């Protein structure tokens, strides 16, 4: 009996590579040796690969569509409007008419811009944004208001230091006053009044009491000398009596300060009056 050494070929010969379980033909190959996808799918390995690919596809679609859907993107874009200088409420109407939204609104103090005026925006005018996008605004809170410091009654140097430290500027005018020279005797606006910065405060600074020239009193009666001094805003600080004969009775024979000396208004003059009744050396 002839041993089986191979599968018969179509022409009756033997296939030396064997057949059936012993065939070494590749999975999914065609009879002529090429790759056949339909034949590969029918194999257990092909079915497993197909099932895996199908599972990956379904998982990807589930994750991207159901669990983590991509944000809807709108093709409707437009430039941001120019809102600078407008009031907040007017700008809000413009933004809403364009289908946009006013986002965060910050307030900053401004020395000249009125309260609520828009000083800045983001995005800037002309930059593109989608419908429904936010525009953040920065508006003016108006000028800073502070009370005028208490400067009246202080020396000029101290008063100006207080004003500058509080953010004010100042101008100073000298005026006649009985207050000591260099003392602030008035301010406009008045101390304590709240005003918006920047602001200049006008100061009235005393030149000191007016100066008066001491008149010549020697030879005048005591009563007349007192009248003359009083008319000039001066007074008598002391009356000394000194023994005299003749025409010097009751008359001023000495004075201090001497005639012609300039003294502050309200100053006093010492006089010596002749008397017959006694002497004081």
Residues of the chain with pLDDT under 70: 1-37, 40-41, 46, 62-75, 277-281
Give pLDDT, residue 41. 61
Give pLDDT, residue 44. 77
Give pLDDT, residue 248. 85
Give pLDDT, residue 135. 95
Give pLDDT, residue 262. 92
| Bridge-based pairing state of the strands 7-8 and 14-15 | antiparallel
Residue 186: which of 172, 165, 166 has the closest Cα? 172
SS3 106: strand
Domain ranges of the chain: 28-67, 78-140, 145-206, 211-275
Give pLDDT, residue 281. 42
Rounded to an integer, what distance in angstroms lies between the CA atom of residue 214 and that of residue 225?
Answer: 11
Tell me if the domain spanning 145-206 has CATH number 3.30.10.20.
Answer: yes
Instruction: Quote the pTM value.
Output: 0.44
Give pLDDT, residue 17. 45
Give pLDDT, residue 82. 95
Supply the DSSP string of 45-57, one letter for each residue. Answer: HHHHHHHHHHHHH
In this structure, what is the dihedral angle of CA atoms 190, 193, 194, 195, given to the nearest 10 degrees?
-30
Judge contact between 273 and 253, C-beta under 8 A. Answer: yes
Give pLDDT, residue 133. 92
In this structure, what is the dihedral angle of CA atoms 18, 23, 25, 30, given to the nearest 10 degrees?
90
Q: Tell the CATH topology of 211-275.
A: Trypsin Inhibitor V; Chain A (3.30.10)
CATH of 78-140, one of 3.30.70.1340, 2.30.42.10, 3.30.10.20, 3.30.460.20: 3.30.10.20
pLDDT in tens, 48-83: 777 777 777 787 776 666 666 655 444 588 899 999
Classify the phi-psi angles of 91: left when phi > 0, otherwise alpha if psi is within -120 to 50, otherwise beta: alpha
Give pLDDT, residue 23. 43
Q: What CA–CA distances, in Å, run from 101 to 78, 92, 93, 131?
A: 13, 8, 10, 9
Give pLDDT, residue 221. 93
Asked if domains 78-140 and 145-206 share a fold, the reply is: yes
Rounded to an integer, what distance in angstroms lies between the CA atom of residue 111 and that of residue 90?
Answer: 22
């Amino acid at each position: 009996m002839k041993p089986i050494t191979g599968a018969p070929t179509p022409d009756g010969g033997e296939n030396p590579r064997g057949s059936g379980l012993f065939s070494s033909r590749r999975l999914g190959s065609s009879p002529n040796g090429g790759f056949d996808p339909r034949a590969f799918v029918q194999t257990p390995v092909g079915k497993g690969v197909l099932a895996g690919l199908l599972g990956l596809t379904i998982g990807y679609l589930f994750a991207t569509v159901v669990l983590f859907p991509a944000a809807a993107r709108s093709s409707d874009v437009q430039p941001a409007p120019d809102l600078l200088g407008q009031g907040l409420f007017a700008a809000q109407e413009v933004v809403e008419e364009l289908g946009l939204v006013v986002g965060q609104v910050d307030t900053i103090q401004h020395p000249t811009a009125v309260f609520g005026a828009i000083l800045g925006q983001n995005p800037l005018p002309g930059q593109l944004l989608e419908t429904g996008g936010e525009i953040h605004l920065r508006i003016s809170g108006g000028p800073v208001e502070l009370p005028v410091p208490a400067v009246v009654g202080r020396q000029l140097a101290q008063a100006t230091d207080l004003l500058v430290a509080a953010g004010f500027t100042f101008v100073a005018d000298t005026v006649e006053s009985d207050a000591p020279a260099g003392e602030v005797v008035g301010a406009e606006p008045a101390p304590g009044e709240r005003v918006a910065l920047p602001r200049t405060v006008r100061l009235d600074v005393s030149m000191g009491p007016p100066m008066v020239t001491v008149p010549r009193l020697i030879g005048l009666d005591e009563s007349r000398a007192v009248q003359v001094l009083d008319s000039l805003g001066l007074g008598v600080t002391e009356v000394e009596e000194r023994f005299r004969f003749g025409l010097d009775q009751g008359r001023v024979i000495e004075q201090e300060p001497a005639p012609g000396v300039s003294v502050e208004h309200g100053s006093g003059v010492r006089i010596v009056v002749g008397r017959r009744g006694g002497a004081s050396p």
